[in-house]
Amino acid sequence: MGSFISTYTGKNEDPLPSFNGEPIRMNIPGRTASYTAQALYDALGREDPSKYFRVSLAVAYIAPRSFERDIHLINRAGD
CA distance 50 to 48: 5
pLDDT at site 74: 92
The model carries a pTM of 0.71
The answer to whether the bond into 15 is cis (omega within 30° of 0) is: yes
Task: Report H helices in 1-79.
Answer: 33-44
The pLDDT tens digits for 8-67 are: 777 767 777 788 889 889 888 778 999 999 888 888 776 666 666 677 889 998 888 888
The answer to whether the beta carbons of residues 29 and 40 sit under 8 Å apart is yes
| φ, ψ of residue 26 in degrees (nearest 5) | -150, 160
Annotated domain spans of the chain: 2-75
